[in-house]
Amino acid sequence: MNPQDLLHLFDARALAAVAPLLALSAGLIVLLVAGVFRSLESLRGPIMVASLLVAGWFTATNFGAPPGSVIDGTYLADRASSAWGLLFVVATLLAWLFSQHYYSEAERPFQLEHDVLMLSTPIGMTLMAGAQNLIVFFIGLEILSIPLYALASFRRSRSRSVEAGLKYFLLGAFAAAFFLYGASLLYAATGTLQLQEIAKIGIHGPLALAGVALVMASLFFKVSVFPFHLWVPDVYQGSPTPVTALMATGTKAAAFAFLLNSMFMLPKSAALLVAAIALVTMALGNLGALAQTDVKRMLAYSGVAHAGTVLLVVAGTLAGDPEANGALHAALFYMGAYVFTAAGAFGLLALLERDGERFTSLDALKGLAQRRPVIAAALTLFMLSLGGIPATGGFLGKWMVFSSLVRAGLIWPAAIGALLSVVALGYYLRVVVAMYMQPIAERDAALARGPDSSAAAAIAAAVCAVFVLAMGVLPNLFLDRLI
């Protein structure tokens, strides 16, 4: 780094660009120090919340400011990356709130380690969203992935959790290797790792195309689309439920943020191929979910289907959506609605879950409306939003995605995608039927009271429900503040 680059690091706009990262990093250091001095361990919660709120405030202030870049343009903070950054902070905060009082007494002594790992993840997500260089993206990817490997296997006394962490680690390692190998091929073909330089040079020749294929394979693994989606049900089901909520929301949003930034590497002629992959992903996700009796596993397959829906935005952009920033608007709104909806659904399962994990099954949810009507009503709202019922954020998100396809002339993919979305109601409504129309199973009578309530989880669920309704009924409150 030359002296001019070093001075640029201390430029006011450059500091504003990295302020969210600095806030999260400072919070992480303070949290580690609090762990050294046991007398300060009671401050764990305030430190966690303060770090995320300060990072969110810094991110919000970047909306009205001109773009700022650091380290020779390898990381950029603009309105788009700031919008994604807010989603990352929200997803992490919601997952953390749902994790309070979730773990057993034997696991609570390790809550500080859990929080340190969880606070590390938005740092990686933010780097991924603002990365203008393939290596910077990879650094962000690893800062996100390594804590998630540990969090997935956090419940070490449970074989499913250990298995989930091991599967995620092994497959994630292969995906990381694909990305690095693809980046090396792109460097060999273009002589640069900068996204803007690659865009100027263009993707030409078999070497560059092979590099793009490997990079896209890695990204497809992270967003869990066909054919790199098979790990999702086992990992989501075995991981602690608050961790699953973070994987399903923040991780997916971060990968899509970079995918939208780098989709210029795909040829325009690939629009129909990307649309076909998206539709196959939606079909496999929905069909897989229809066969499940475990709600957590069902939501995992549902997440695969939703990833396919967002991938349709990429197809629409490649086909030439005439509306400026139409694809980015659609992806941001859809992922915003999905963050609140999926986090709320997984969070309520975490609130209901017991050591026996009976509350993740459909049978255990029977009669829930009579036992815990507020939780049943909130879970119903989240199921309807995931299914795309009007007056919810999920409906407006799907409408924006399919509108983008229609504007780009991809009428048939839009029609098939809409039909596949209707199929999804078949399994979302099963949850509603079980809660409201089926009596409690006799073997689950001992669990009828449900777990002890958690104020943090109740606040998080209420926030999710309010935003899901607000995004469905008053979408302009959010659309007017996008790019």
Measured CA to CA, the distance from residue 402 to residue 44 in angstroms comes to 43
Type of residue at 185? L
Q: pLDDT per residue over 138-195, tens digit each?
A: 999 999 989 999 888 887 777 788 888 888 888 888 888 999 999 999 988 888 888 8
The CA–CA distances, whole Å, from 287 to 71, 282, 298, 376, 433 equal 46, 8, 10, 25, 19
Band the pLDDT of 67: cuts 50, 70, 90. low
pLDDT at 443: 54
Instruction: Copy the structure tokens of residue 82.
Output: 């700031």
Average pLDDT of span 49-61: 87
Measured CA to CA, the distance from residue 246 to residue 341 in angstroms comes to 12
pLDDT at 322: 65
Average pLDDT over the chain, rounded to whole?
82
Domain segments of the chain: what residues? Answer: 266-483
Q: CB burial class (10 A; 0-12, 13-18, 19+) of residue 442?
A: exposed
Q: Is a pLDDT exceeding 70 seen at residue 216? A: yes
Lowest mean pLDDT among 67-76, 417-426, 443-452: 443-452
Cα-based torsion angle of the residue sequence 157, 163, 165, 171 in order, rounded to the nearest 10 degrees: 170
75 three-state secondary structure: strand
The CA–CA distances, whole Å, from 163 to 13, 94, 101, 168 equal 45, 25, 23, 8
Instruction: Copy the structure tokens of residue 468.
Output: 């899901």
Is pTM beyond 0.75 here?
Answer: yes
Measured CA to CA, the distance from residue 423 to residue 160 in angstroms comes to 30
**Residue 372 half-sphere exposure, CB side, CA atoms within 13 Å?**
22
Contact 190, 199 (CB under 8 A): no
Q: Which of 45-49, 70-74, 316-320 has the highest mean pLDDT?
A: 45-49
Q: Is a pLDDT exceeding 80 seen at residue 249? A: yes
Average pLDDT of span 339-365: 78
pLDDT at 280: 92
Band the pLDDT of 60: cuts 50, 70, 90. confident
> What count of other Cβ atoms lies within 10 Å of the Cβ of residue 35?
15
Band the pLDDT of 362: cuts 50, 70, 90. confident
Average pLDDT of span 243-250: 89
pLDDT at 259: 87
Helix 326-352 × helix 295-319 angle, to 10°: 180
Band the pLDDT of 349: cuts 50, 70, 90. confident
Task: For residue 222, give the nearest of 285, 189, 176 by alpha carbon.
Answer: 176
For residue 109, cis peptide bond before it (omega within 30 degrees of 0)? no
pLDDT at 279: 92
User: Looking at residue 109, what DSSP letter applies?
Assistant: G
pLDDT at 113: 83
pLDDT at 227: 86
Task: For residue 290, give the nearest of 154, 446, 423 by alpha carbon.
Answer: 423
Q: Which residues contact residue 383 at a Cβ distance below 8 angstroms, ignoring those fewer than 6 apart?
A: 345, 428, 429, 431, 432
Band the pLDDT of 7: cuts 50, 70, 90. very low
Q: Which residues contact residue 345 at a Cβ distance below 8 angstroms, ignoring those fewer than 6 apart?
A: 299, 379, 382, 383, 386
- The more confidently predicted of residues 415 and 5 is 415
Q: How many whole angstroms from its chain centre is CA 105? A: 29
Instruction: Copy the structure tokens of residue 411.
Output: 């009428």
- The more confidently predicted of residues 67 and 214 is 214
Q: CB burial class (10 A; 0-12, 13-18, 19+) of residue 41?
A: middle
Contact 446, 356 (CB under 8 A): no
Would you list the DSSP string of 9-72? HTSHHHHHHHHHHHHHHHHHHHHHHHHHSGGGGGGHHHHHHHHHHHHHHHHHHTSSSPPEEETT
294 three-state secondary structure: strand
pLDDT at 9: 47
**Residue 188 half-sphere exposure, CB side, CA atoms within 13 Å?**
14
pLDDT at 204: 81
Q: pLDDT per residue over 318-341, tens digit each?
A: 877 666 566 778 888 888 889 999
pLDDT at 64: 66
Q: pLDDT per residue over 265-316, tens digit each?
A: 888 888 888 889 999 999 999 998 888 888 888 999 998 998 998 888 888 8
Average pLDDT of span 16-32: 85
Q: Is a pLDDT exceeding 60 seen at residue 449? A: no
Average pLDDT of span 4-25: 70
Contact 311, 281 (CB under 8 A): yes
Q: Percent of the chain at pLDDT above 70?
A: 88
Beta bridge partners of 68: 77
Lowest mean pLDDT among 292-301, 346-355, 402-411: 346-355
Band the pLDDT of 355: cuts 50, 70, 90. very low
Q: Which residues contact residue 300 at a Cβ distance below 8 angstroms, ignoring those fewer than 6 apart?
A: 232, 233, 235, 236, 237, 244, 248
